[in-house]
Protein backbone atom coordinates (compact mmCIF):
# COMPACT_ATOMS: atom_id res chain seq x y z
CA UNK A 1 0.00 0.00 0.00
CA UNK A 2 1.32 3.46 -0.79
CA UNK A 3 2.33 5.52 2.19
CA UNK A 4 -0.11 8.26 3.22
CA UNK A 5 1.03 11.82 2.53
CA UNK A 6 1.46 13.82 5.71
CA UNK A 7 0.15 17.41 5.64
CA UNK A 8 1.72 19.86 8.04
CA UNK A 9 -0.69 21.70 10.32
CA UNK A 10 -0.81 25.44 9.58
CA UNK A 11 1.21 27.57 11.91
CA UNK A 12 -0.31 30.42 13.92
CA UNK A 13 1.40 32.87 11.57
CA UNK A 14 -0.11 31.19 8.50
CA UNK A 15 -3.54 31.21 10.10
CA UNK A 16 -3.05 34.85 11.03
CA UNK A 17 -2.26 35.75 7.42
CA UNK A 18 -5.30 33.85 6.19
CA UNK A 19 -7.51 35.54 8.79
CA UNK A 20 -6.21 38.92 7.67
CA UNK A 21 -7.16 38.03 4.11
CA UNK A 22 -10.62 36.81 5.16
CA UNK A 23 -11.25 39.90 7.27
CA UNK A 24 -10.25 42.17 4.41
CA UNK A 25 -12.65 40.21 2.21
CA UNK A 26 -15.41 40.56 4.81
CA UNK A 27 -14.82 44.31 5.15
CA UNK A 28 -14.88 44.76 1.37
CA UNK A 29 -18.14 42.82 1.18
CA UNK A 30 -19.61 45.00 3.92
CA UNK A 31 -18.73 48.13 1.94
CA UNK A 32 -20.25 46.56 -1.17
CA UNK A 33 -23.38 45.67 0.79
CA UNK A 34 -23.80 49.19 2.17
CA UNK A 35 -23.34 50.75 -1.25
CA UNK A 36 -25.82 48.30 -2.81
CA UNK A 37 -28.31 48.95 -0.02
CA UNK A 38 -28.01 52.72 -0.53
CA UNK A 39 -28.45 52.25 -4.29
CA UNK A 40 -31.51 50.05 -3.73
CA UNK A 41 -33.14 52.52 -1.34
CA UNK A 42 -32.44 55.44 -3.68
CA UNK A 43 -33.88 53.49 -6.61
CA UNK A 44 -36.99 52.62 -4.61
CA UNK A 45 -37.52 56.29 -3.71
CA UNK A 46 -36.96 57.33 -7.32
CA UNK A 47 -39.39 54.66 -8.50
CA UNK A 48 -42.06 55.93 -6.14
CA UNK A 49 -41.59 59.47 -7.47
CA UNK A 50 -41.66 58.29 -11.09
CA UNK A 51 -44.85 56.31 -10.51
CA UNK A 52 -46.49 59.41 -9.05
CA UNK A 53 -45.39 61.39 -12.11
CA UNK A 54 -46.77 58.66 -14.36
CA UNK A 55 -50.14 58.88 -12.60
CA UNK A 56 -50.29 62.64 -13.07
CA UNK A 57 -49.16 62.36 -16.71
CA UNK A 58 -51.79 59.71 -17.44
CA UNK A 59 -54.52 61.95 -16.08
CA UNK A 60 -53.25 64.88 -18.16
CA UNK A 61 -53.03 62.77 -21.31
CA UNK A 62 -56.56 61.48 -20.73
CA UNK A 63 -57.95 65.00 -20.32
CA UNK A 64 -56.12 66.28 -23.40
CA UNK A 65 -57.18 63.19 -25.33
CA UNK A 66 -60.84 64.05 -24.80
CA UNK A 67 -60.28 67.49 -26.30
CA UNK A 68 -58.35 66.01 -29.23
CA UNK A 69 -61.15 63.53 -29.88
CA UNK A 70 -63.65 66.41 -29.91
CA UNK A 71 -61.50 68.23 -32.47
CA UNK A 72 -61.30 65.08 -34.56
CA UNK A 73 -65.11 64.71 -34.40
CA UNK A 74 -65.59 68.29 -35.54
CA UNK A 75 -63.19 67.78 -38.42
CA UNK A 76 -65.28 64.88 -39.69
CA UNK A 77 -68.71 66.55 -39.14
CA UNK A 78 -68.91 67.52 -42.82
CA UNK A 79 -68.89 71.30 -42.26
CA UNK A 80 -65.98 73.33 -43.56
CA UNK A 81 -66.18 76.71 -41.94
CA UNK A 82 -63.33 78.02 -44.10
CA UNK A 83 -65.03 77.10 -47.41
CA UNK A 84 -65.91 79.72 -50.06
CA UNK A 85 -69.65 79.10 -49.58
CA UNK A 86 -69.48 79.71 -45.85
CA UNK A 87 -67.62 82.96 -46.40
CA UNK A 88 -69.95 84.13 -49.24
CA UNK A 89 -73.06 83.36 -47.22
CA UNK A 90 -71.85 85.57 -44.38
CA UNK A 91 -73.99 88.63 -43.62
CA UNK A 92 -71.34 91.01 -44.87
CA UNK A 93 -67.65 91.45 -45.77
CA UNK A 94 -66.74 92.60 -42.28
CA UNK A 95 -68.50 89.59 -40.75
CA UNK A 96 -66.80 87.25 -43.22
CA UNK A 97 -63.36 88.66 -42.46
CA UNK A 98 -63.97 88.43 -38.74
CA UNK A 99 -65.25 84.87 -39.13
CA UNK A 100 -62.13 83.92 -41.07
CA UNK A 101 -59.84 85.51 -38.46
CA UNK A 102 -61.58 83.58 -35.70
CA UNK A 103 -61.17 80.34 -37.61
CA UNK A 104 -57.48 81.03 -38.21
CA UNK A 105 -56.98 81.66 -34.49
CA UNK A 106 -58.88 78.52 -33.52
CA UNK A 107 -56.90 76.46 -36.02
CA UNK A 108 -53.67 77.74 -34.48
CA UNK A 109 -54.94 76.92 -31.00
CA UNK A 110 -55.92 73.42 -32.12
CA UNK A 111 -52.51 72.84 -33.70
CA UNK A 112 -50.89 73.91 -30.42
CA UNK A 113 -53.14 71.65 -28.42
CA UNK A 114 -52.35 68.70 -30.65
CA UNK A 115 -48.63 69.42 -30.33
CA UNK A 116 -48.93 69.53 -26.53
CA UNK A 117 -50.89 66.28 -26.57
CA UNK A 118 -48.14 64.57 -28.58
CA UNK A 119 -45.55 66.06 -26.22
CA UNK A 120 -47.38 64.69 -23.16
CA UNK A 121 -47.62 61.26 -24.77
CA UNK A 122 -43.84 61.30 -25.34
CA UNK A 123 -43.29 62.41 -21.72
CA UNK A 124 -45.47 59.55 -20.48
CA UNK A 125 -43.49 57.08 -22.58
CA UNK A 126 -40.22 58.45 -21.17
CA UNK A 127 -41.50 58.16 -17.60
CA UNK A 128 -42.64 54.57 -18.14
CA UNK A 129 -39.21 53.66 -19.57
CA UNK A 130 -37.56 55.33 -16.56
CA UNK A 131 -39.77 53.31 -14.22
CA UNK A 132 -38.72 50.04 -15.87
CA UNK A 133 -35.02 51.02 -15.73
CA UNK A 134 -35.32 52.06 -12.07
CA UNK A 135 -37.05 48.80 -11.15
CA UNK A 136 -34.22 46.85 -12.79
CA UNK A 137 -31.61 48.95 -10.99
CA UNK A 138 -33.34 48.36 -7.64
CA UNK A 139 -33.56 44.61 -8.26
CA UNK A 140 -29.89 44.41 -9.26
CA UNK A 141 -28.78 46.38 -6.19
CA UNK A 142 -30.88 44.15 -3.95
CA UNK A 143 -29.29 41.06 -5.48
CA UNK A 144 -25.82 42.56 -4.99
CA UNK A 145 -26.55 43.18 -1.31
CA UNK A 146 -27.83 39.62 -0.84
CA UNK A 147 -24.79 38.16 -2.61
CA UNK A 148 -22.42 40.23 -0.45
CA UNK A 149 -24.19 39.06 2.71
CA UNK A 150 -23.91 35.41 1.71
CA UNK A 151 -20.23 35.69 0.78
CA UNK A 152 -19.43 37.51 4.03
CA UNK A 153 -21.07 34.77 6.06
CA UNK A 154 -18.93 32.23 4.23
CA UNK A 155 -15.76 34.23 5.00
CA UNK A 156 -16.58 34.34 8.72
CA UNK A 157 -17.39 30.61 8.77
CA UNK A 158 -14.05 29.87 7.11
CA UNK A 159 -12.25 32.02 9.67
CA UNK A 160 -13.96 30.23 12.54
CA UNK A 161 -13.01 26.88 11.03
CA UNK A 162 -9.37 27.93 10.84
CA UNK A 163 -9.32 29.07 14.45
CA UNK A 164 -10.99 25.89 15.66
CA UNK A 165 -7.91 23.93 14.58
CA UNK A 166 -5.65 25.90 16.95
CA UNK A 167 -5.12 25.84 20.69
CA UNK A 168 -6.31 28.80 22.77
CA UNK A 169 -2.77 30.20 22.87
CA UNK A 170 -2.37 29.81 19.11
CA UNK A 171 -5.76 31.46 18.53
CA UNK A 172 -4.67 34.44 20.61
CA UNK A 173 -1.42 34.71 18.66
CA UNK A 174 -3.24 34.38 15.33
CA UNK A 175 -5.80 37.10 16.08
CA UNK A 176 -3.63 39.47 18.09
CA UNK A 177 -4.25 42.99 16.86
CA UNK A 178 -5.97 41.78 13.68
CA UNK A 179 -9.03 43.91 13.21
CA UNK A 180 -10.27 43.54 16.76
CA UNK A 181 -10.13 45.11 20.14
CA UNK A 182 -7.03 45.33 22.21
CA UNK A 183 -4.19 47.61 23.12
CA UNK A 184 -4.06 51.34 23.34
CA UNK A 185 -4.80 51.84 27.01
CA UNK A 186 -7.62 54.28 26.29
CA UNK A 187 -10.61 52.00 26.67
CA UNK A 188 -12.19 50.47 29.71
CA UNK A 189 -15.27 48.37 30.22
CA UNK A 190 -16.68 46.05 27.57
CA UNK A 191 -19.27 43.33 27.31
CA UNK A 192 -21.70 45.84 25.83
CA UNK A 193 -21.40 48.21 28.76
CA UNK A 194 -19.42 50.87 26.94
CA UNK A 195 -16.17 52.55 27.92
CA UNK A 196 -14.84 55.98 28.82
CA UNK A 197 -12.67 58.07 26.55
CA UNK A 198 -9.81 59.74 28.37
CA UNK A 199 -7.71 60.86 25.42
CA UNK A 200 -6.62 64.33 24.26
CA UNK A 201 -9.55 65.17 21.93
CA UNK A 202 -11.63 68.30 22.45
CA UNK A 203 -14.72 69.97 20.98
CA UNK A 204 -16.78 68.03 18.46
CA UNK A 205 -14.06 65.40 18.12
CA UNK A 206 -14.32 64.62 21.84
CA UNK A 207 -18.10 64.37 21.63
CA UNK A 208 -17.78 61.96 18.72
CA UNK A 209 -15.15 59.86 20.54
CA UNK A 210 -17.20 59.84 23.74
CA UNK A 211 -20.06 58.38 21.73
CA UNK A 212 -17.86 55.83 19.97
CA UNK A 213 -16.26 54.66 23.21
CA UNK A 214 -19.68 54.28 24.79
CA UNK A 215 -20.44 51.68 22.08
CA UNK A 216 -17.41 49.52 22.97
CA UNK A 217 -18.51 45.98 23.68
CA UNK A 218 -21.63 46.21 21.54
CA UNK A 219 -21.81 43.69 18.70
CA UNK A 220 -20.74 44.33 15.17
CA UNK A 221 -23.98 44.30 13.15
CA UNK A 222 -23.94 43.70 9.42
CA UNK A 223 -25.24 46.92 7.87
CA UNK A 224 -25.89 48.23 11.39
CA UNK A 225 -26.59 51.87 12.19
CA UNK A 226 -27.41 51.38 15.89
CA UNK A 227 -28.32 51.66 18.57
CA UNK A 228 -27.92 47.96 19.33
CA UNK A 229 -24.85 47.55 17.13
CA UNK A 230 -22.98 49.02 14.18
CA UNK A 231 -20.82 48.26 11.22
CA UNK A 232 -17.73 50.39 10.60
CA UNK A 233 -19.28 53.32 8.72
CA UNK A 234 -22.47 53.09 10.78
CA UNK A 235 -20.41 53.70 13.93
CA UNK A 236 -18.50 56.69 12.55
CA UNK A 237 -21.68 58.19 11.12
CA UNK A 238 -23.49 57.88 14.47
CA UNK A 239 -20.49 59.14 16.47
CA UNK A 240 -20.06 62.31 14.46
CA UNK A 241 -23.83 62.66 14.28
CA UNK A 242 -23.81 62.91 18.08
CA UNK A 243 -21.50 65.92 17.63
CA UNK A 244 -23.94 67.51 15.17
CA UNK A 245 -21.93 66.63 12.07
CA UNK A 246 -23.80 64.78 9.31
CA UNK A 247 -21.77 62.12 7.52
CA UNK A 248 -22.85 59.99 4.54
CA UNK A 249 -23.67 56.34 5.15
CA UNK A 250 -20.90 54.49 3.30
CA UNK A 251 -17.11 54.49 3.51
CA UNK A 252 -17.02 55.33 -0.19
CA UNK A 253 -18.81 58.61 0.55
CA UNK A 254 -17.39 59.36 4.00
CA UNK A 255 -13.88 59.50 2.55
CA UNK A 256 -14.97 62.64 0.68
CA UNK A 257 -16.74 64.24 3.65
CA UNK A 258 -13.98 66.45 4.99
CA UNK A 259 -10.36 67.54 4.78
CA UNK A 260 -7.89 64.79 3.96
CA UNK A 261 -4.83 64.51 6.18
CA UNK A 262 -1.78 62.26 6.18
CA UNK A 263 -0.91 59.47 8.59
CA UNK A 264 1.67 61.73 10.24
CA UNK A 265 -0.84 64.54 10.81
CA UNK A 266 -3.75 62.56 12.24
CA UNK A 267 -5.62 64.10 15.17
CA UNK A 268 -8.14 62.50 17.57
CA UNK A 269 -11.54 62.29 15.94
CA UNK A 270 -10.16 61.94 12.40
CA UNK A 271 -11.68 59.19 10.27
CA UNK A 272 -9.11 56.58 9.21
CA UNK A 273 -9.68 54.68 5.97
CA UNK A 274 -8.11 51.35 5.03
CA UNK A 275 -8.06 48.77 2.23
CA UNK A 276 -8.37 50.51 -1.15
CA UNK A 277 -11.25 48.96 -3.09
CA UNK A 278 -12.70 49.43 -6.52
CA UNK A 279 -15.10 52.18 -5.42
CA UNK A 280 -12.94 53.54 -2.61
CA UNK A 281 -11.60 52.46 0.79
CA UNK A 282 -13.54 49.60 2.34
CA UNK A 283 -13.04 50.22 6.07
CA UNK A 284 -13.24 53.21 8.38
CA UNK A 285 -12.44 53.77 12.04
CA UNK A 286 -11.84 56.80 14.26
CA UNK A 287 -8.48 57.90 15.58
CA UNK A 288 -8.47 58.21 19.37
CA UNK A 289 -4.90 59.45 19.83
CA UNK A 290 -1.79 57.69 21.11
CA UNK A 291 -1.73 55.35 18.11
CA UNK A 292 -5.16 53.89 18.98
CA UNK A 293 -8.24 53.51 16.79
CA UNK A 294 -11.82 52.74 17.85
CA UNK A 295 -13.86 50.88 15.25
CA UNK A 296 -16.34 48.15 14.38
CA UNK A 297 -14.25 45.58 12.57
CA UNK A 298 -16.11 42.37 11.67
CA UNK A 299 -18.89 40.22 13.04
CA UNK A 300 -16.31 37.93 14.67
CA UNK A 301 -15.65 40.48 17.42
CA UNK A 302 -17.41 43.36 19.17
CA UNK A 303 -16.79 47.07 18.74
CA UNK A 304 -13.49 47.98 20.38
CA UNK A 305 -10.12 49.65 20.13
CA UNK A 306 -6.98 48.52 18.36
CA UNK A 307 -3.36 49.61 18.28
CA UNK A 308 -2.39 50.90 14.86
CA UNK A 309 0.28 48.36 13.98
CA UNK A 310 2.39 48.06 10.84
CA UNK A 311 -0.45 45.99 9.37
CA UNK A 312 -2.77 49.00 9.49
CA UNK A 313 -0.08 51.34 8.27
CA UNK A 314 0.46 49.11 5.24
CA UNK A 315 -3.26 49.13 4.41
CA UNK A 316 -3.87 52.81 5.17
CA UNK A 317 -5.53 54.91 2.44
CA UNK A 318 -6.08 58.32 4.01
CA UNK A 319 -7.43 60.16 7.04
CA UNK A 320 -10.29 62.63 6.85
CA UNK A 321 -11.12 65.40 9.31
CA UNK A 322 -14.93 66.04 9.24
Give residues with Cβ within 8 angstroms of 236, minimum separation 6.
Answer: 212, 247, 254, 271, 284, 285, 286
CA distances from 294 to 25, 172, 216 (A): 20, 20, 8
Residue in 189, 180, 205 with CA at minimum distance from that of residue 294? 180
Give residues with Cβ within 8 angstroms of 230, minimum separation 6.
Answer: 215, 218, 220, 221, 224, 238, 296, 303
Specify burial of residue 317 (Cβ count, 10 A radius: 0-12, 13-18, 19+). buried
Specify burial of residue 182 (Cβ count, 10 A radius: 0-12, 13-18, 19+). middle
Segments in the chain forming alpha helices (H): 12-75, 84-88, 93-164, 168-175, 203-214, 232-242, 251-254, 310-315
Q: Give the catalytic positions in this structure.
A: 232, 283, 295
Amino acid sequence: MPAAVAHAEPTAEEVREEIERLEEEFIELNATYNEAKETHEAAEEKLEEVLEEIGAAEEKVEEMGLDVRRLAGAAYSGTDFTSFNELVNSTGPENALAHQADLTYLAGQNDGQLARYIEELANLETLEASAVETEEEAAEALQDSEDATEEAEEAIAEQEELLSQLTAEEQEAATENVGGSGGGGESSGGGGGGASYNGPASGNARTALDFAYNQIGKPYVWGGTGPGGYDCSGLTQAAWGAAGVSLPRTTYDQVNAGQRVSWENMQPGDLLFFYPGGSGPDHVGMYAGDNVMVHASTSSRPIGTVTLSDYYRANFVTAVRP
